[in-house]
Structure 1
Amino acid sequence: MFDLSDVLARAEIDPRDVNVILHSPRDGDLQAMLPGLVSTRPAAMEAYQCYHTGPATRALSQGRPLVASFVKTGSGRMPGTSLMLFAGLYKNPGPRARPRSEIEADAEVMWLHSTFGSFRELRSPDWTEWTWFDLSLDERLEEMRGRLVIEMRLTQAYIRLAENLKAPVAAIHAESAFDAEPPPWRRMRIGAGLLGALPSRWSARLREWRSIYLIVDQTDGARYVGSAYGAENLLGRWRAHVAGEAGVTVGLRDRDPSRFRFSIPQLTSPAAPAEEVIALEQTWMERLDTVRFGLNRPQEAADAA
Structure 2
Amino acid sequence: MFSFNDLLTINGISPQDVAVALHKPANTSERQALCTMIDEDFAAFNAYQSTHARIPEATLKARGIMASFVMTSDGRMTFVGLFANAGSQPFAQAGPHVYALFVRMTRKMTGPDEVNGRSGLEALQNRLLFDLSRLDTMSDLSGRLIVQDPGARNYMRVADCTPLPVVELTKEAQMTPPVPNWDALVLTAPDLRKLPNSWRVQLSAWRGVYLIVDRCDGARYVGAAYGSENLFGRWSQHVAREIGITKELSQCDPAEFQFSILELLSPAATADEVIGAERKWMRRIGTLEFGLNT
Q: d(CA) in 2 for partners of 1:4 and 1:116?
A: 36
Partner of 2:3: 3
Question: Which residue, 255, 265, 274 being the options, matches 1:270?
Answer: 265
Q: Quick one: which amino acid aligns to residue 36 of structure 1? A: T
Cα deviation code 1:111-160 (max 9, x no counterpart): 235419999x9558687443222322112111111111111231111111
- In the alignment, structure 1 segments of 5+ residues that lack a partner are 76-81, 297-305
Partner of 1:299: none
Q: What is the CA distance between 1:252 and its match in structure 2?
A: 8.3
| TM-score under structure 1 length normalisation | 0.71
Q: d(CA) in 2 for partners of 1:216 and 1:101?
A: 42
Q: Quick one: which amino acid aligns to residue 170 of structure 1? A: V
1:160 aligns with 2:142: no
Flag the 1:230–1:19 CA change in 2: closer, same or farther, 3 A: same
Q: Quick one: which amino acid aligns to residue 211 of structure 1? A: V
Q: What is the CA distance between 1:280 and its match in structure 2?
A: 2.8
CA contact (8 A) 1:209 1:267 kept: no
1:34 aligns with 2:31: no
SS of aligned partner of 1:177 = coil
Partner of 2:209: 211
Partner of 2:77: 84
Flag the 1:44–1:10 CA change in 2: closer, same or farther, 3 A: same
Pairwise mapping of residues 48-59 of structure 1 onto structure 2 (< 5 A)? 48-59=48-59
Q: What is the CA distance between 1:70 and its match in structure 2?
A: 0.7
SS of aligned partner of 1:188 = strand
Q: d(CA) in 2 for partners of 1:117 and 1:156?
A: 29
Q: What is the CA distance between 1:236 and its match in structure 2?
A: 3.0
1:138 aligns with 2:140: no
CA contact (8 A) 2:107 2:113 kept: no
Partner of 2:90: 97
Q: What is the CA distance between 1:91 and its match in structure 2?
A: 1.6
Partner of 2:111: 115
Task: Indicate the percent of aligned positions where both proteins have the same amino acid.
Answer: 27
| TM-score under structure 2 length normalisation | 0.74
**Would you say how many aligned residue pairs link Structure 1 and Structure 2?**
274
Q: d(CA) in 2 for partners of 1:126 and 1:180?
A: 31
Flag the 1:113–1:264 CA change in 2: closer, same or farther, 3 A: closer
Flag the 1:128–1:156 CA change in 2: closer, same or farther, 3 A: closer
CA contact (8 A) 1:29 1:190 kept: no
- In the alignment, structure 2 segments of 5+ residues that lack a partner are none
Q: Quick one: which amino acid aligns to residue 27 of structure 1? A: N
CA contact (8 A) 1:38 1:45 kept: yes
Q: Quick one: which amino acid aligns to residue 50 of structure 1? A: S
